[in-house]
Every structure is written in C-alpha cells, then in structure tokens.
A and B are shown apart, each in its own frame.
Chain A
Amino acid sequence: MKTSIDAHTVHYATGGRAHEKGKPFIVFLHGAGGSHLAWVLQTRALANDGWNVIAADMPGHGFSGGEPLKDIGQMASLVLALMDNCGARDAVVCGHSMGGLIALELARIAPARVRALVFVGASASIAVNQQLVTLGYGDRETAYRNMNSWGYGPAAHMAENTWPGANHIAYGIAVMRMNQPTALADGLSACAVYTQGEAAARGYDGPALCVFGEYDRMTPSRNGLALAAMLKHAETHVLPRTGHSIHTEKPREFNAFVREFLARLPAAIDA
C-alpha cells in the first residue's frame, strides 16, 4: 500500500489484507538499511490474526520515495503521520534495532498513540562503529556485507532457514541494495546521535515485550537487558544461538512471544 506524506510516497505492507475499521493496529519498524521485507514472517501472520498491519518503509527504503531521514525524531514523526493516514488512533509498535529507537521516541513524544511496545534486537542507545558509517557512504557493498555478517547468528551463517530454500544473508544484502544508496549510512548515523532513548524508556508506563538474541553482535543482549531494566513493565526473552535478526532467524519462537503478549493486552481504543 502507498500513501503520501510530505509530498513523498510512503509504502507500507499490510500482510496481504486491507485494513478494516475497528481492528487494532500494529506497526512494524525496520532497522537501519532494512525495509518492510524484514517483517514478511510477521505481517501476514498478524494480519490473519485480525490486526491491521503497517510495516513501514522509511523514506528512501524499500518501495518508499524520498531521501532517507537522518534523525530518529523525524522518523517517529513520519510514523505518526503514517498512522494518521491509516486511521490508527493508537497502535502496538514493534521495532527492530533502529526501529526500536523510533518506537522509544514515539512513546516519548506521543505516549497516547502507543498501546504497547515490542523491542527486537534493540537497546536504549546504539553505539555505531564510525568506520561502518564511513563505509556506508563510500564502499557500500562492504558495509552491506559487514552488516549482514554481524547481523545474523551462526545458524543463519550456515543457511539454516525456516523458509524452505531461502538464504538469510544474501536476502539481507539484497534488501539493502534495494534502498537509496545512503539509506544504511544515514540510518546508522541517526542511531549514533540519538540520545533520548533512556529518558523515553524510563518515562514509558505501558506494557513492553523485549526479545533479544544471545549472539547478537549489533546490539548485544546485555544492552537489550539494560533497556528492559529501564522499562516499568517489560517481559523479556533472550533466544539462545540467535543473532541480531531474531524475528527472521527464529520466527516461530518470536511470533509465539508476540502473540502471547498481544493476547494479554487490554482492548484497543479503536476496537
């Protein structure tokens, strides 16, 4: 689906089902260099569970137009505008890595719009290797290779995949190549300078689900656990032998956690 925000086309996946009035919303926010294609094993599942799904492509990512944003606050504002365009008064917001920072910022600037937060391979701040950012603006292919090497756990490196025939690493690199050239580096830069994460986490009073990977080399699980400790009502899972891309490496386990978490939420405002 496509909508227009600030004169740019913004694409979002709905899990193959059109939004229906009265259904609750869940928003998926990809990590740096990603797109809605990171959430294919969540969007269709939750859409068929009865959720109105919004898996956004940030500007310059996936099928969205415009230039990549360089600021987490701007990204959060864009997500609010996207929710407005979709008629979502509030939503469960699920963020991976950089998407986790956007989710935190959303909760900080518009707490009434956030029913619950789901963090995947996320932390309150992300220390970014400046060398990687530099590569992202220059030798992009090397940056993509580094990101996807560090972004997956040992099983994914051995091409283990729940989706028959698919290869995580080549898929991840291909998704990054689909974006605007500076998308990865701009996203990483935005992560590096975002400083509101801890305040946002400590100020958030709603339910939260945190799912981390034992072998995450991008946002180590100790940083994720620190985020969980800042949240007042966090349910936390650390999946063994799993890397940074928990939702694609262990989709069955991840989806089960999400479904159990969502089932316990109070009724949505829109519902």
Chain B
Amino acid sequence: MSLFHELETLALHAGHIPDNEHGSRAVPIHLTTSYVFRDARHAAALYNLEEGGHLYSRISNPTVAVLEQRVAAMEGGSACVATASGMAALHCVATMLASAGDHIVSTAQLYGANINLLKNTLPRFGVETSFVHGRDLAGLKAAIRPNTKFIFCEMIGNPSLDVLDVDAVALIAKEAGLPLVMDATFCTPYLFKPFEHGVNVIIHSLTKWMGGHGVALGGAIVEGGNFDWGKDGRWPTLSQPYYALNGIVFWEEFGPIALSSRIRAEAMYNFGPAMSPMTAFLLLQGIETLPLRMERHMKNTTEMLEFLCAHEAVEWVRHPSLAGHRDHETAKRLLPMGAGSIITFGVKGGRAAGQAFIEGVQVASHLANVGDAKTLVIHPASTTHSHISAQDMVAGGLSEDMIRLSVGLESIADLKADFDRALKGALRKAGQPK
C-alpha cells in the first residue's frame, strides 16, 4: 500500500473534504470579497496570523485555497499561493526574494514575458538579471554574485524546447547556497516533479495544461520547504522582522512555509494579484482530469511527431523526444513520461509559407496560448516573442520560420488531415514543388 495518495487521486480530491452541513461533493464557489468574523477575538486572530482562515479575498479565499492545497499536494510542496496569472507568480517570487541592488541569475531559454520582466522591468526597480544558456553550466556558476538571490529556469524552454539538466543546475545552486526557482508550466506534475530534483520554488501558469480548457488565467507559486532562508541573512525579507505583524520573522515563525507566508502577507496584500474564486473553480475542473489529458497529450504528440517528420512540406521538426534534439538524452533521463506536448517546426518556404500554413489550418486554432485541450498553432517571431531582440531570439532558440504547435486532444486522424491540407496549401502558395 502506498504511503500517500497518487497524483490521479490528489488531482480529484486534494484540498477539499465535503463539509458536514451541505455535503457538497463539488468544490463550492465562495464568491465573496470578505468574511464575517465570529467575534472581535477571531478578527484579531486572523490579522495576527494566529489561526488559519480568510479575512479578505485578495489575501485568501476558500475556493482558491482548495486549488492551492491541491497544487501543493500534487507537487509535494509545503504550501502554494495562487495568483492571477503565471506572470504574477514570478513577479511575487522575484520581489519577495530580491530588492533594489540585488541580482538574479537566469537561464536564457525562457518564455518571452519572463524575459521581459527580468530584463526590462525589474532593472527599473534596481534588480538586475544575468542570462546564461541553460547548457552553459560554467557560465551559470560564473554569473553568480555575492548579491545574487536566486537562480531562475524553465524545465522545457518556451519555445526553444531546450530541456534543462536540472540536476546539474540544482547542484550549482546548492553549492552557491542559492534557491533554484523553476517555471514548470510545460511539465505539470504529471511529467516531472521538480522538488525531487533539488528545485526549491515552483512557478506554474495554471492557464496552460493544468487548467487545460483555455477558459481561465491563473498562476501558482509552490514552496518546496527545502531551503534554509535563515542561514546567512541573505534573504532579509524572510530572516529579519517584517514591518507589520508585530515584527514577525517569517523564517523563524513558519520555517518551511516562510516564503509563501511572506508572499501572502506582503505580495498579495500590497500588490493584489489575487485569483478570483470563479477562476479557481474553473481551474479545479481542469486539474481533475490532468493525468488523463496528459496521457492523451503525449500520445498525440508522439503521432504528430511521426507525421511531421515524414511530411514533404516540413523543413525541420524539433522536440526533445527526437533523437536529433540536442537535449534528447537529458529528456530521456529526466522526462521519462514525455517531454511535453509542444512541437516546433519550420515549413518549407520560410516565413511566408509558415504564415500560409497557420492561416490554412481548420481544426487547429491560431492563437497565443499553449497547453489547451484544443490544438493550437502560432508564429512566435511575429507574436509572442515579437518584443524580443534578434540577438535574444537566437539566444532563446527562435527562428523566423518557426511554427509552435501545442498538440491537443482531438482525434489524431483529424489533426493529421488538417495539417496535411494546410501544409500542402502552404507549399503551393510558396511556389514550392508539390
């Protein structure tokens, strides 16, 4: 008998036990901004962090808490804070760990908005980031400075699809005494468990595979409870008295949930990136079927890879499961359940042919998202990564002809037929031989 519930069970149940009064099996939607205190003592207790509970939905909410506890349990984390989006999650972590004059080391293969926040926005507030290719382990180590507060990475780079050798990077972080923060959106806990590989904080965009339905934006910060924030005073936000709550020292008071407690007390309170309870409910509906969906995502991805690799109109195909991918061996070692359901490929005929392909698909949708149950396609160079410089595009593994495909759950026969039609049409428009 297993000591703990498996992922499939946690995805359905974690965080919610039906209440005695109503017995509601589904998670109730607590659409309320605020909560009636039992008495003055109860109100004071909530404000003083004496007891768990909810006082205002910008800080916490019962429906959102179910989502948070479900994600924490699925990742094996000590606590989770849900945010309005994945970007809000990264913003909260960065600003709770780093202050003006501090420094971050990041792998370069990142989602465009992650790059923007670290490269263009945080410097205006005095926080600088050094970007190093995830495969350049010596470079990552050399980039660490005395004022570095954390190392940031994505497990599967978006859209470069580089797979990080997280074991090696976690060792660098550990030797430097730094926390490793990972955006694990592309993996979900179905494909990869970051805390088992030395990651200390996980960030998710729940908007993607976790929700899966493409109807709700959301983010999550999951704390591993596996980092000593008090060892050398490098994280004063956690090891020194807070300006409120009678000078609370989060690390001494809350230990393995110090970071999430500070995020809730300061970032949620002062920035306000709260998730709505309706959104939490919608995301929970998606998470219930995450293991089943991921299984189908990976099956369809395997079939689409075979199809694209054999297609006459396709110039190149990239996915970590392909033998020719630079990180194929790393993916085999770290992602045995599959290396995600994003494929990138180039259509013969370059940018114009790629555009013709995107406009030619009928089952797949042309939009700026990934991880939906529906198959999605986009041209990153002109959309999601259009704000990135040519130099950063190359560093991030992008090219002008790249199509990013997020493989959905449709009939694989229908997907192949749709892509075959659109690819052949693109070839014709580009004037290439059939």
- Which residues of A are interface residues toward B (Cβ below 8 A)? 13, 16-17, 35, 37, 40-41, 44-45, 48, 62-63, 145-146, 149, 155, 157-167, 169-171, 173-175, 177-178, 251-252, 255
If A174-B226, A174-B255 touch, does A165 touch B60 (CB 8 Å cutoff)? Answer: yes
Nearest B-chain residue to A157, judged by Cβ: B5
Nearest B-chain residue to A177, judged by Cβ: B226
CB of B226 within 8 A of CB of A165, answer no
A contact residues around B69 at 8 Å (CB): 159-161, 164-167
Nearest B-chain residue to A62, judged by Cβ: B255
Stretch at the interface among B10-18, B131-139, B350-358: B10-18
If A164-B60, A165-B79, A165-B264 touch, does A158 touch B52 (CB 8 Å cutoff)? Answer: no
- The answer to whether the Cβ of B45 comes within 8 Å of any Cβ in the partner chain is yes
The number of inter-chain residue pairs (CB within 8 angstroms) is 136
CB of A164 within 8 A of CB of B68, answer yes
Interface size range of chain B in the complex? 35 or more
CB of B253 within 8 A of CB of A159, answer no
A contact residues around B225 at 8 Å (CB): 170-171, 173-174
B contact residues around A41 at 8 Å (CB): 50-52
A-B contact pairs, 20 of them (CB 8 A): A17-B246, A41-B52, A48-B50, A63-B252, A157-B4, A159-B69, A160-B15, A161-B15, A162-B52, A164-B64, A165-B60, A165-B68, A165-B82, A166-B52, A166-B78, A171-B225, A171-B257, A174-B224, A175-B255, A178-B228
In whole Å, how far is A217's beta carbon from the nearest beta carbon of chain B? 11
Given the complex of chains A and B, what is the CA–CA distance between A17 and B79 in angstroms? Answer: 25
- The answer to whether the Cβ of B269 comes within 8 Å of any Cβ in the partner chain is no
Please classify the interface of chain A as helix (H, G, I), strand (E, B), loop, or mixed, using the class held by over half of its residues. helix
In whole Å, how far is B36's beta carbon from the nearest beta carbon of chain A? 16
CB of A251 within 8 A of CB of B248, answer no
- Which residues of B are interface residues toward A (Cβ below 8 A)? 3-5, 10, 13-17, 44-45, 48-54, 60-61, 64-65, 68-70, 72-73, 76-82, 224-226, 228, 230, 245-248, 252-257, 260, 264
Extra pairs beyond A165-B72, A166-B72, A174-B255 (9, CB < 8 Å): A44-B253, A146-B3, A158-B10, A161-B65, A165-B80, A167-B72, A167-B77, A170-B73, A174-B256
Given the complex of chains A and B, what is the CA–CA distance between A155 and B78 in angstroms? Answer: 16
In whole Å, how far is B62's beta carbon from the nearest beta carbon of chain A? 8
Nearest B-chain residue to A171, judged by Cβ: B78
If A170-B225, A171-B256, A175-B256 touch, does A161 touch B4 (CB 8 Å cutoff)? Answer: no
Given the complex of chains A and B, what is the CA–CA distance between A158 and B15 in angstroms? Answer: 6
A contact residues around B4 at 8 Å (CB): 145, 149, 157, 169
A contact residues around B79 at 8 Å (CB): 163, 165-167, 171
CB of B80 within 8 A of CB of A40, answer no
In whole Å, how far is A2's beta carbon from the nearest beta carbon of chain B? 10
The 6 closest A-B pairs by CB, nearest first: A174-B225, A174-B256, A162-B52, A163-B52, A165-B68, A149-B3
A contact residues around B260 at 8 Å (CB): 165-166
B contact residues around A158 at 8 Å (CB): 5, 10, 13-17, 73
Given the complex of chains A and B, what is the CA–CA distance between A149 and B4 in angstroms? Answer: 7
Given the complex of chains A and B, what is the CA–CA distance between A267 and B388 in angstroms? Answer: 70
If A63-B252, A167-B69, A167-B72 touch, does A160 touch B52 (CB 8 Å cutoff)? Answer: no
Q: Which of A146, A167, A252 contacts B78 (CB 8 A)?
A: A167
If A166-B72, A170-B76, A177-B226 touch, does A48 touch B48 (CB 8 Å cutoff)? Answer: yes
A contact residues around B50 at 8 Å (CB): 41, 44-45, 48
CB of A37 within 8 A of CB of B52, answer no
CB of B44 within 8 A of CB of A48, answer yes
If A13-B252, A146-B3 touch, does A252 touch B51 (CB 8 Å cutoff)? Answer: yes
Given the complex of chains A and B, what is the CA–CA distance between A45 and B246 in angstroms? Answer: 13
CB of A16 within 8 A of CB of B78, answer no
CB of B51 within 8 A of CB of A255, answer yes
* Interface core residue of B5, B61, B253 (most chain A CB under 10 Å): B253
If A159-B72, A170-B76 touch, does A45 touch B65 (CB 8 Å cutoff)? Answer: no
In whole Å, how far is A110's beta carbon from the nearest beta carbon of chain B? 28
In whole Å, how far is A195's beta carbon from the nearest beta carbon of chain B? 31
Given the complex of chains A and B, what is the CA–CA distance between A145 and B54 in angstroms? Answer: 30
CB of A44 within 8 A of CB of B73, answer no
Q: Which of B48, B64, B72, B228 contacts A44 (CB 8 A)?
A: B48
